Every structure is written in structure tokens, then in C-alpha cells.
Structure 1
Amino acid sequence: MNKSLALVSGLLVVALTGCSSQMERKTASGSYEYLKAEQQAVLKVPADLHSPDYSGDYELPQLGAGADHSLIGRELSVQSPTLVLPLVAGSRVEDGNQSATIWFDQVDDSQPLNQAIWNSLLAYLEQQGIGVESFDPEAGVLVTDWMVQDMGEDASWYDFSDETHQTERRFEFSMEVKPHGRTAALHAELKDYRETLGEDVKSDLLAMQERREEVDVLNKVINHYEYQIRLEDSRRLAQIRQGLNTELGYDSDGAAAFIVNAGYDIAWPRLLLVLRKLGFDVKDLDKSTGLLFVTYNGADESWWKGWFSDDGELLEQDDYRLRVGKMGEKTSITFMNNESKPFEPNVVADIYDAFVEAMSQDNLDI
């Protein structure tokens, strides 16, 4: 009996200690006797004596008009402030902005920036099993369904309470897009909040707690967006490293060209690797127009077996240009001289084998 009583008492002490430690993480430690302190009267100096000089170094500032006078003692949270984390490439936060807002600059032209942000947000909500109450892309506003979190799932092993502890939140996400479409801001705002503990329901939050909720959900969306980008980059990198099938054909202008069986965003970086492997130096390039200005520095026999004849090299060490074009799910690559005149079909056919050998090799060095 004594052993059982001692065990129960020990568990009770542990439980109480655990609860108090959670509270201590949110409130200031130590004594709160300072709350009983009273304002001291100003020192009265006789009229025939000089008043001493007072320093204002330790004067407390006056509270603002909107300050909450109840935030004292244990009611004042000492948790570190929550910050919006700009994890995505091209993202940033504005100094001094107290709202849960992040700005994105377009770094990937594969899809419009606002569409990429909305797609990432919707994917995050779907992954978390959170419904969408309303979504108006034209107005740039999305309102979520209730996000329900059962706090009992996070309860400690020593928590023997059967009371329901659950929080529910609804958020509104709004987007502001600059007229040029390459910069956009995503803003999160807490619309509704309910916290249920047993039969008690709390629906009011302090401003600091409300901002913490908004920043927390925004950071989760940002983290998901950054994770999706990393996955896509890994997928693209794997595709670039893989060999690509190439055939002879004609570009959209009717010039003889190599037709690569891959989209533009995959064929473009792959071509840069192939050119380097084949002895070209890229002097200038413009992905938006598909133009490359290159210099051929001489053949490497291990790669350019198909570029030789009895008369010597088919290409002189000179400057050339390449034009890369989109052809649906395929990409055209047109070799040209330094005056933008496409190679003749027979020259393109002669260099085909060497080009295909490099373009089709797996695990090409990056």
C-alpha cells in the first residue's frame, strides 16, 4: 500500500512539474513581487536649496494609446517573437512590416508567379487534409476551412485528464501582384479561432498570439513551397543528367536542325553541358530568345570521331551561333555561322553522330 501511494504521489509531482515547466517557457521566471510596488513620491526640495540633477536614463517609456494594460506578470508572454522565414529563392520580407506577409520575385519562368504560389498553397492544404471554403483567383483571396488540432495528441504521458483540448483556426490568404506580374506578396490573416478545453470555449486571442498563429501557418506554407522547388530541381537535374534522344529534322524556320526529345527547360541546360564536352566555349547566351554565341576551340578525338574526314576537321576554330527553339514537348537546335546563317543540311548530317553521342550519354558531368 505504501509503495502504491508513493508511486501515485511521484506521478502527481511529475505531472505538476511538467505543467509548470510548460508555463515557465511562456512567462518570466522569478518573483512577481514587483507588481505590488508603488510609485515613489518625488523628492521635495526646500525652496532655499538647489534641486539635484536627475538623469532620465532609466525612465520607463509611456504606454501607447492602444497598449493592453492587462499584460503584466504572468499574463505577459516572454516567448521570442515569431518571424516570417523567406526560405524560397527570390523571397523576402519588408523591414518593419508587422503583418504575416512575404514577397516573392519570379526566378522560374516555367509558369506565372501567382499561379505557382497558389498551386503550392493548395497543395499544402490538400496534403494537410484542410478544406477550402472559398477561392477567388481573380480577387486574389483564399479562405480555408477549419484547421483542427487535437491538443490531446500532443499531451504528455503523465497527463491523465479526459478533458477535450482542441484548437480550430480559419485563415484568409490574400495575394498582391505587381502590374508586371513578376513580384507578388502572400499575406495570411487569422479569420476565426476557437479553443475548446472541456466545456470551456475560448474565441479571443491577444494581438501577439494572433500574429504568432498567422506567421506560423505562413511559414508552413513557405516551407512546403521551398520543399516542392527542391523536389522539382532534383527531378530536373536527374532528367538533365540522363541521355536524351536526338534526331535530324527542321526547326520552325525550315532550317536543318537537331530535334531533341525533351522540353525546352531540360534541353537548354543539357545543351550547355554537351557544348562544353565537345570543345565549345559559350561566350554569351539568352535563354529567353534561345540564342547562344560560342567559340569552337578544337576537337577532342574521344568525342569528335564523327567530325573528321580525310581532309581534316569539318569545323574551323571560329565563332558560331546556335538557335534553340521550342517545339511543343521537343526542342530544336540549329547550328549557324557567325552571321546567323544556318548550316547546310549535309553539314548538319555530317556532325550528327558526334552530337548525338554526347547528347545521349547518361550521367554527363555537371
Structure 2
Amino acid sequence: MNYKYRLALAAVVVTSITACSSGADSRRQAAQDFNYLDTPALESWTLPAGAQPFSNTNYTIPQRVYKGEVGTKVDIRPPLQVLELIPGVTSAIDGQGVTLFMPSSNELMKIWHVTQQLIADNKVGIVKQSADRIDTDWVSWTNEDEDTKISSRYTIEKSPNINSYRITLTDWREDGKVKPVSADNKRRYSILMTNLVMAKYDNMSREQARIAAAEQLKNVPIMMGTDRSGLPIIIARASYDDMWERLPVMLQKLGFTVEDRNRSQGLIDVKYRQPDDAFWTKLGTKPMNLTNDKYRILVGDLGNRTSLNITDNDGKPVTESVLNSIAPVFGAAFAK
């Protein structure tokens, strides 16, 4: 069965999985050429007639056999690292595969279910399966930095007694032919499979957090208040983290286009285009007193509450009357 490798964790993330250039040649070859392979072998120095012999051991090249690849067989790609996407997890890489030590039995079961879901979603064949072990069929990789078609098989195991999870590459094919796998490829493709599982786990966790946050924010009380300077602001009775996750979706429903966000500074740049009358009738509120323009929403952390303020395209705070028209609209939108 085929599983196409297309990680772009932003591409987390995952741009670190491959080198910066593209194509097998640029990632596996020398910067210029391989003319050094044509260098003539060293020869013993022949003294000219009448010359006196002289020797100096300072520059003697040791006579030994060096092990390693040369020429096009040299792989210059940086080694992969296991992505740290699950809090509390530690990893260990050895000559056979990758082991993850989970912080609890609950997390171990979660990553096991994620693995089963990943296999099912991508129609990866299973040769043998038990409660604590899965032997996969061939997994085909589509990877731009390889010059052959790569396939591999894996054994995936969990050990509930020590809360460990392990991925081992067991078989290797190149262009459909079974071959011995090199140590570098065994490491690279064991880590690659591990990172796919970790990324799937992270995506599912984020989605569950988003759904949970949305449920919590369905009935968020929205009211007017003042900041420390006595200036009017909108106050939402929800945490900053919950509001930050939910605000972009809510804003888009109200006619805002989110153009930029900065979580650490609490800034959301938006462009507003007022919906038609039918929208406001369905929402059950009066339209906001905003013109079609660009605005900046300032999100503040007040502990278990969140402050919201809005500045216009010139950086000036909108008036209190405008905020008064926005507050009930935000409240109605969060309730939907």
C-alpha cells in the first residue's frame, strides 16, 4: 500500500525534516563535481640521479583503509530528529529504531489509537496484529530527495508495563527490490515514521482542544467595562487562550477577514465588510456601527477574563458607542 510523505508542518515543524534545497541531486551530491574521484593514486618518490635521499615524517600520510561512502553515494542530508510534539515524552534512538517513553498509560493508549487511525486513514496494509504489536505491510514513500522509489515495513509495539512505544524498520525495498537497509536509512525512515505518528497525534490533540474550547465559549458572557485608565473596553468572561482560539472563526462569521495575528502581543488585524440585512435578522441583533475598513483588535489577558478593544485604520480607538454596538453582536455570535 502507498503512503505519500507530504509533511509541511509548517510545516512543523516539519520543514526541518528535509534539507533546504530540492531534488535528489542537490541533496546528495557535492557542491560542484566529483573530479576528486579521478585523482591518481599516490606513488613513491623517485630521486633524480645524483640527489641525496632525505626523509621527514612530519608530512607522512598514514597507510590505512578508510571505511565509508564516496562520490554520489555520500548522503549529505542532515540527520533527522524526533519531533517533540507531545509534552512529557522522551525519545531514544538506537540502531534498530525509535522508542518513545510516554508520561502515563493514558498517553500510551492515545498514541496507540493514533497509530491505528493513521494506518487505517492511509490504507496501510497489516501483516500481523495483536493487542500490543502491529506488523505493517510495505509503506511506499514519495520523497523528492530520493533517487529511487523507497518502500519499508515496520514493527510497532507498545509496552504497557513501562509505558513505552517503539517503531522498528524491519524490511527495505528500492525500486521494488528487497535490499539490505543501510544504518543511515534505517535511522532516517524510522524517525520519519515516528514523526508522522507524532504529527498526527499533535493534529488530533489540537482539534480536540479547539472543539473543547468552542463548547466552553458557546455561552460566553460579553459586557462593557473599563480598563485601568477608565477607557471603555469589551470584557469576555473566558480565558485568553480560549478566546484566542475562538475569535478568528467568530470574526469571519461577522464579516471580518483576518489578515494577521500575533498571539504574544494579542493583536489581530482584520478587514471588515458589513453583511447584508438578512444576516442581522438571522443573528437577532442590530448591525455594528463599523464602516467597511481595516481595524486592529487588541486582546488582553485578565486571568479568567479577556479584554477586547478595537482601533481604526489610523490606530485610534473606536468610540464607546461603537463598542456598545459591537458587544451584543459578539455575544450573539459566540452563542451560535
Tell me the TM-score normalized by structure 1: 0.44
Greater Rg over alpha carbons, structure: 1
Tell me the TM-score normalized by structure 2: 0.47
Query: Which structure exhibits the higher relative contact order, with contacts defined as CA atoms closer than 8 Å and separated by 6 or more residues?
Result: 2
